Amino acid sequence: MPRLSLVLALAAVLLPAAAAPAVSPTARSSAPAFNGGVYAIAHRGATTYVGGTFTTATVNGRTFPRERLAAFDSRTGKLLDWSPRADGVVRALAATADSVYAAGDFRAVDGEPRDSLARIHPTSGAVRSFRHNLSGTPYALATGNGRLYLGGSFTRVTGEQRGNLAAFSLATGKLDARWRPVADDTVHALAVTGPRVFLGGGFHFVGAVKGTLRLASVNGVSGAVDPAFRPRVPAEVRAIALDPTGVHVATAGRGGRAIAYSWTGALRWQRVFDGDAAAIATTGGVTYVGGHFDNACLTERNGVKGGCVDGSRPRLKLAAVTAQGQLTSWGPKANGVIGVRVLSVNRVAGTIEAGGDFTTVDGRDRRRFAAF
């Protein structure tokens, strides 16, 4: 084991769990419940938008039709009238001041033909002008630099060749002819800060550049690979979160991992779980992790099937880690096999939001969405 990894492993065993972060482990009862999985979360002011596989939302015992897209007031939990109907799974969302962008397996929204991508009015829910054809499956959306960035598993966008990555002008909706980095396999996650766009997934190379295995940084305007960012990621990246200290990722593989890197890609810390880590979010110096796991390992070692080798602490689908890589005592218990698919920081409501396939948190009814 490398010296740095050994130090981190020993620290995990010898140091006690840190005090619980400011976010309460108790899920609020005011959020809507859904009858199918929540795959995506986006925010615009106090409004939380969700997408997934669901067809109804339930609030205060009343059930309303919501076909794979819904919105509610994140402070009160009130379900909003916003209810465009997608005819297939919504896998990703991104919100701007004047639009909500959705990506997924759908072919129409509110009866309007939309092949995997749609632009929707943020208050009326009307489907807006923005129409492209996609040869494959989209998994991630992000905005920045006047662009909407798209990641997934696809080869063409509106007849133009693209390698699992594409960008569109937020002003015109047109496919960006300049931004065209190529990933050689699926892109599952995107995150933007300033001129940098971070990509995570199952790819081996971006632009045939060495050192871009599973996680890379590219310029948000030119698409050029950042030569200064060279992380070493042990498994497929499923989610990315950024904070002032650097880049945080959730990985799948033989046991999931939450890993923190500096802005140059140097390893800062990592935590290992006994199942995939599928979601990650950071705020206030704490990193929140969600996934399919039931335990957090005390060291970086795990077995062939991902089980912890050197002991563990129970963490049912949710966990939190300090800026030094210590496991905190924050551990709400979500149920289900798949567990948590997405985590998001809601700065207006002051909450961490979780979506997925769980139906209870700490034994209470929290069907597919919870806010802490």
**Model confidence over 16-63: pLDDT tens digits?**
344 445 677 888 878 999 999 999 999 999 999 999 999 999 999 999
CA 247 from centre of chain: 13
Where is 369: in which H helix or E strand? strand 369-371
Tell if the pTM clears 0.85, that is, is over it. yes
Is the confidence at residue 140, as pLDDT, over 80?
Answer: yes
CA–CA separation, 220 vs 289, rounded Å? 27
Q: Across the strands, what pairs with 44?
A: 47
Exposure letters 154-163 (e unless 16+ CB within 10 A, then b)? beebbeeebb
Residue 178 CB-density burial (10 A; 0-12 exposed, 13-18 middle, 19+ buried): exposed
Nearest CA-CA partner of 84 in 97, 93, 96: 93
Rounded Cα distance between 312 and 12, Å, is 10
Q: What are phi and psi of 229, to 5 degrees?
A: -100, 110
- Pick 252 or 17 by higher pLDDT: 252
16 or 348: whose pLDDT is higher? 348
Nearest to 173 by CA among 136, 132, 142, 134: 132
pLDDT value at 114 more than 90: yes
Nearby residues of 61 by Cβ (< 8 Å), 6 or more positions away:
none
When pLDDT is averaged across residues 330-353 and rounded to a whole number, the result is 96
6 falls in which pLDDT band (50, 70, 90)? very low
Task: Please compute the mean of the pLDDT values over residues 120-127 and round it to a whole number.
Answer: 98
The per-residue pLDDT for 52 is 98
Cβ neighbour number for residue 137 with a 10 Å cutoff: 16
| 158-215 pLDDT, tens digit each | 999 999 999 999 999 999 999 999 999 999 999 999 999 999 999 999 998 999 999 9
User: Do 285 and 256 contact (CB within 8 A), yes or no?
Assistant: no
> Per-residue pLDDT averaged across 341-351, rounded?
96
Q: Are 312 and 297 in contact (CB under 8 A)?
A: yes
What percent of the chain shows pLDDT beyond 90? 89
* Percent of the chain surpassing pLDDT 70: 94
pLDDT at 22: 60
3 pLDDT above the threshold of 60: no
Q: What is the pLDDT of residue 105?
A: 98
Q: What is the mean pLDDT of residues 309-338?
A: 96
Averaged pLDDT for residues 65-81: 97
pLDDT over 60 (residue 13): no
